[in-house]
A and B are shown apart, each in its own frame.
Chain A
Amino acid sequence: GQQLNQSPQSMFIQEGEDVSMNCTSSSIFNTWLWYKQDPGEGPVLLIALYKAGELTSNGRLTAQFGITRKDSFLNISASIPSDVGIYFCAGSGSAGGTSYGKLTFGQGTILTVHP
């Protein structure tokens, strides 16, 4: 089956630093999504990417859909304490071709921000 390799597994940074994490796959995906999960809560969708090469921003977050369709990265600029959490990438190969949202999730990146 499809698998996503998400790295790094964890990051410890100082407030104000920029953060970069990525996901790679051996398979092509038609959609990439990035989620953030706070402790004890469900994941919240941050950014959705639908086209190879697409670069999308959401505030201090920027994500890109790799041109090969096998990777994606997420950048966070000028990190703040509330950025703490687990960040998940997810890929979908369905492009609407299936009746349900079949997602493959990465294992997550645990982000810790020191004030």
Chain B
Amino acid sequence: SQTIHQWPATLVQPVGSPLSLECTVEGTSNPNLYWYRQAAGRGLQLLFYSVGIGQISSEVPQNLSASRPQDRQFILSSKKLLLSDSGFYLCAWSFRDRRNEKLFFGSGTQLSVL
């Protein structure tokens, strides 16, 4: 069966510091990968998605970037965090072809930028 791992679970960072959140998927090959942000426990906003290694699409302009160095690894980064980057970040995966709208989420990272 497939599993998704996301870490860290919580993170407190000062404004202006860098960020790196990591997500890995096990038990499947060639997944689609996604980064979402959730503000105040409601409303999931798609930040990035990837359909293959090195292929990143951004849904909204922002202070963040994403990379996919390996097939089942997805990284969310920032060079300098802003206060507005605080939130709950969720990684998700789906199958590449059929039923690719069926997303499976990781356990999330609560990021607080102070």
| A residues whose Cβ falls under 8 Å from a Cβ of B | 31, 33, 35, 39-45, 48, 86, 88, 90, 92, 94-96, 98-103, 105, 107-108, 110
- Docked Cα-Cα span, A105 to B98, in Å, equals 20
Task: Report the bound CA distance from A102 to B34 in whole Å.
Answer: 10
Chain B interface extent, by class: 20 to 34
* Supplied contacts A41-B107, A101-B34, 11 more A-B pairs, CB within 8 Å: A31-B102, A41-B108, A42-B92, A42-B107, A90-B103, A92-B101, A96-B98, A101-B103, A103-B101, A107-B43, A110-B41
A11–chain B nearest beta-carbon distance, Å: 14
Q: Are A42 and B108 in contact (CB under 8 A)?
A: yes
Which residues 77-114 in B have Cβ within 8 Å of A in the complex? 90, 92, 94, 96-108, 110
Q: Tell me, rounded to whole Å, the shortest Cβ–Cβ distance linking B52 to chain A.
A: 9
**Contact partners of B97 in chain A: CB under 8 A:** 96
**Sample of 6 A–B contacts (CB below 8 Å):** A42-B6, A92-B101, A94-B101, A100-B49, A101-B101, A108-B42
Contacts of A96 in B (CB 8 A): 97-101
6 closest A-B pairs by CB? A42-B105, A92-B101, A101-B101, A101-B94, A101-B100, A105-B44
- The answer to whether residues A100 and B42 also contact, given A45-B103, A48-B102, A92-B101 and a CB cut-off of 8 A, is no
* A100–B32 touching, CB < 8 Å: yes
- Closest residue of chain B to A92 (Cβ to Cβ) is B101
